[in-house]
Amino acid sequence: MEEIKVTNLGSSLPVPCVQELAKEALTTVPPRYVRLDQDPPFVSDTSSLPKVPVIDMQSLTSKDLMDRELEKLHHACKHWGFFQGFVIKPKDIGMRNFQPNPTHYMC
């Protein structure tokens, strides 16, 4: 009878799922995800990079703007899997130092 040789290819490391990592208030990338054996990417001109889809959540409830915003939402979910949503409340309009408070959603 012929002897069968088994090759050990190693094992995988237990890794927490992305949702668990997202729950933590991380301020740095966990060391296990840092690749020191590779040069970091250098991008001098970011204008040509794709932009994260931004959805105006208020427009989703507007009869005039709903269809266009739903198309953007559909595209974001289909092609990106996530989007950045925001709502501008009427009291916020006209404030000098207004900064939108974006929320990130996964589709």
**% pLDDT > 70, the chain:** 85
82 versus 96: which is more confidently predicted? 82
For residues 9 and 37, what is the distance between their CA atoms, to the nearest angstrom? 21
- The pTM (predicted TM-score) of the whole model is 0.48
Length in residues, the chain: 107
For residues 107 and 74, what is the distance between their CA atoms, to the nearest angstrom? 9
Calculate mean pLDDT across residues 81-93.
Answer: 73
Q: What is the pLDDT of residue 36?
A: 81
